[in-house]
Amino acid sequence: MSAIIHGAGAATALSTFNFKTLVAPCRTNIPGRSKRCIVAAGSDDDASKSFGSSILTVRHSQKLIANAVATKADMSATTGTGHELLLFEALQEGLEEEMDRDPHVCVMGEDVGHYGGSYKVTKGLADKFGDLRVLDTPICENAFTGMGIGAAMTGLRPVIEGMNMGFLLLAFNQISNNCGMLHYTSGGQFTIPVVIRGPGGVGRQLGAEHSQRLESYFQSIPGIQMVACSTPYNAKGLMKAAIRSENPVILFEHVLLYNLKEKIPDEEYICNLEEAEMVRPGEHITILTYSRMRYHVMQAAKTLVNKGYDPEVIDIRSLKPFDLYTIGNSVKKTHRVLIVEECMRTGGIGASLTAAINENFHDYLDAPVMCLSSQDVPTPYAGTLEEWTVVQPAQIVTAVEQLCQ
């Protein structure tokens, strides 16, 4: 089975297109940590076809998602065969393929077995792989995370599911002190190739404890990688890449994005864990976002285009480490940055990203970096209040107008 590695399209939008088809994760083939090794080749999306043309459109710009919980997305004009599925099915497909490929991959978490997982990401897996490989654990996040770490140190590749990201706060000690650290403190003797995943973010009136943005809390932990998926395509690709990675990876899913529908390739592919995704190339301003906010940004982009602006939208995808190469190239082109995130203002991903951009690309900025985040409040239950804590498209439009004056 030939594996086609699909690039995020990030570099390709800005530089000469380089057709290098690589098999399997590139990091083992390329010395050092080159991010440019993964490139789209023969893909079925618009990106590869329209490079170099003046109207550079990547598929998503043609289907601005009207609301974040789109259940029927309009199909992009893909020519190849592919199959349509929902985001949670894409995650499941990625997981199943990896479990078929490597008998060391196993899943553990609450209700992941015969129940199929609270969000059905592990549906059917217990029937196929058995009760032991898709393990229902008692309720103790710290314990099953610790268990995953112990199993990983002994050679397995566990995928640990937190029923909700917020519950993983109970596993913070195992994640920080052991998961992130043991490879280092053991002098490289033990590796911890775990994937910790689960739904997070603000949902629909789930209350404060079920609306946590854990990426803020975890971003400082050395030794872990963090990625956030936002489409069925990158969900499957990131899941597979995370499982294959030798480092512990935290994969952030979003409660409201599980039912997004998209057509994804039939062929095997993985996404680069450290790469950002170019959603919509543009000239006037760089909008950096991830996860659910991507859809709010794209909705705002629709309005902005009508008003005559040309925003460049990048889904940063890799929350730790940031893909400063892609981001930097974009900043050098547009000279204006708007960050749209769901984290709280204080100490969120946006705060770190703002600092990184200011430090690295200060000379290229024509305006201060602006960051739209949620307020520093626990997420309230009441629907109207909850809506106001999440950045809305109208705010994004206003912010762009302000920055582009």
Q: Which residues bind another protein (CB under 8 A)?
A: 27, 32-33, 103, 106, 113-114, 126-133, 135-138, 140, 142-156, 158, 173-174, 177-178, 181-191, 222-223, 225, 245-247, 274, 321-322, 324-325
Active site (annotated) includes residue 359: no
Q: How far is the CB of 380 from another protein (least distance, A)?
A: 30
Judged by DSSP in three states, 385 sits in helix
Contacts of 402 (CB under 8 A, 6+ apart): 370
**Toward another protein, which CB reaches closer, 53 or 189?**
189
Torsion of CA 254, 164, 108, 84, to 10 degrees: -20
> Other CB atoms closer than 10 Å to residue 37's CB: what's the count?
18
Q: How far is the CB of 191 from another protein (least distance, A)?
A: 7
Looking at the DSSP bridge assignments, the partners of residue 106 are 158
Q: How far is the CB of 25 from another protein (least distance, A)?
A: 11
Q: Is the backbone of residue 291 left (phi > 0), alpha (psi -120 to 50) or beta?
A: left
Question: Alpha helices, DSSP H only, in 206-323?
Answer: 214-218, 232-244, 293-306
Q: How far is the CB of 170 from another protein (least distance, A)?
A: 9
Q: Contact at 8 Å (CB) between 117 and 161?
A: yes
Catalytic residue from among 93, 96, 141, 341: 141
**Toward another protein, which CB reaches closer, 37 or 399?**
37
Catalytic residue from among 60, 183, 210, 254: 210
The DSSP element (H or E) to which 24 belongs, if any, is none
CA angle 293, 299, 302 (to 5 degrees): 145
Q: How far is the CB of 353 from another protein (least distance, A)?
A: 12
**Toward another protein, which CB reaches closer, 137 or 373?**
137
Alpha-carbon distances, residue 376 vs 166, 213, 294, 356, 389 (angstroms): 16, 12, 21, 21, 9
**Toward another protein, which CB reaches closer, 278 or 324?**
324
Q: CA gyration radius for the chain?
A: 20
202 residue type, one letter: V
**Toward another protein, which CB reaches closer, 226 or 397?**
226
Q: Contact at 8 Å (CB) between 41 and 279?
A: no
Active site (annotated) includes residue 210: yes
Q: Contact at 8 Å (CB) between 140 and 163?
A: no
**Toward another protein, which CB reaches closer, 74 or 131?**
131
CA angle 326, 327, 329 (to 5 degrees): 65
Whole-number Å distance between alpha carbons of 252 and 249: 10
Q: What residue ranges in 59-142 does DSSP mark as E strands?
A: 82-86, 105-109, 134-136
Q: What are the two backbone dihedrals, phi and then psi, of residue 265, each rounded to the nearest 5 degrees?
A: -65, 150
**Toward another protein, which CB reaches closer, 158 or 393?**
158
215 residue type, one letter: E
Q: What residue ranges in 201-281 does DSSP mark as E strands?
A: 225-228, 249-254, 261-265, 277-280
Q: How far is the CB of 308 from another protein (least distance, A)?
A: 36
**Toward another protein, which CB reaches closer, 129 or 252?**
129
Q: How far is the CB of 137 from another protein (least distance, A)?
A: 6
Q: How far is the CB of 118 from another protein (least distance, A)?
A: 16
Whole-number Å distance between alpha carbons of 358 and 356: 6
- Positions annotated as catalytic residues are 141, 210
